[in-house]
């Protein structure tokens, strides 16, 4: 993603996606706890006098990010700002906006920005936009097929021996996704917990797949492989929707725990 640089020192990068729905419906998906949790990560707003003043996004154990809300203008825009945990890094602002289009659709746009006099922090903006692109694909599926439904997440992130490409190859072979094509119906092979649906997105640069599933229940599954400087990792996240989502997650979580432990044992630590 290209980082925009302004004379003031502001540097920004943006991503956007066109989604179905009127602005008020799309706002519910990007600016409420239930909505954000249905396509991103579990979210909580701190509200004072009826207006959100802070938001907490839970990306996993030890990765809870709380940010003050700096703009709140429903149903068009909200923004927050977070101080990076990296010493010396400038604060980063995130702006979420909804722009109505003809035909009952909207553009959801996320702009991340910071102020800096050098290119030192541009990689933070670039990495953030890559991640947002994947999440926004999930948002589009949610608003197209599951709008307004409550959700429950199941998520696994496990280390895998080998390179990022080797981790991806291991994951798609284990799940029977070799050679997957967009639009293809697919079901998991024997030995894998019930898992099937339609391939919505598939790429090997980066290593990502997005599946609209009907097994183990209606929802979305996001599969990826990545490396952030340590061991290669495989991630699988289920967004389950509807009245039975919680019961499905309770039933399926131990099955997937056991499968991951068997199929992806912890790599041996160097002696």
| 73 three-state secondary structure | strand
Domains and CATH numbers, the chain: 4-145 (3.30.530.20), 151-263 (3.30.530.20)
pLDDT of 89 reads 82
For residue 267, pLDDT beyond 70: no
Q: What is the pLDDT of residues 25-57, one digit of tens each?
A: 999 999 999 999 999 999 999 999 999 999 999
- Identify whether the C-beta of residue 73 lies closer than 8 Å to the C-beta of residue 82: no
- Identify whether the C-beta of residue 38 lies closer than 8 Å to the C-beta of residue 146: yes
pLDDT of 177 reads 93
- Identify whether the C-beta of residue 92 lies closer than 8 Å to the C-beta of residue 113: yes
What confidence category does residue 63 fall into, taking pLDDT thresholds of 50, 70 and 90? confident
- Identify whether the C-beta of residue 12 lies closer than 8 Å to the C-beta of residue 4: yes
- Round to whole Å and give the CA distance between 73 and 149: 24
């Amino acid at each position: 993603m290209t980082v925009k640089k302004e004379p003031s020192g502001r540097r920004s990068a943006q991503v956007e996606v066109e989604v179905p729905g009127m602005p008020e419906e799309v706002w519910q998906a990007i600016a409420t706890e239930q909505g954000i949790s249905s396509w991103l990560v579990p979210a909580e707003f701190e509200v004072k006098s009826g207006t959100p003043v802070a938001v907490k996004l839970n990306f996993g154990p030890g990765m809870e990010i709380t940010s003050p809300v700096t703009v709140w203008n429903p149903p068009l825009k909200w923004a927050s700002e977070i101080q990076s945990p990296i010493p010396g890094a400038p604060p980063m602002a995130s702006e979420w906006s909804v722009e109505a289009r003809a035909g009952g659709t909207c553009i959801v746009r996320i702009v991340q920005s910071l102020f800096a006099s050098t290119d030192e922090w541009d990689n933070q903006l670039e990495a953030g936009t890559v991640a947002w692109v994947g999440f926004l694909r999930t948002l589009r599926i949610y608003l197209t097929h599951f709008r307004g439904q409550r959700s429950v997440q199941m998520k696994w992130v496990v280390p895998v021996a080998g390179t990022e490409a080797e981790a991806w190859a291991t994951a798609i072979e284990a799940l029977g996704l070799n050679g997957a094509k967009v639009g293809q119906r697919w079901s998991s092979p024997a030995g894998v917990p019930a898992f099937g649906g339609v391939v919505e997105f598939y790429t090997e640069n980066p290593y990502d797949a997005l599946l609209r599933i009907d097994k183990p229940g209606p929802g979305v599954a996001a599969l990826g492989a990545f490396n952030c400087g340590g061991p290669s990792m495989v991630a699988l996240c289920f967004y389950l929707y509807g009245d039975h989502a919680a019961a499905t997650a309770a039933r399926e979580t131990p099955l997937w725990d056991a499968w991951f432990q068997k199929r992806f044992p912890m790599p041996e630590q160097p002696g």
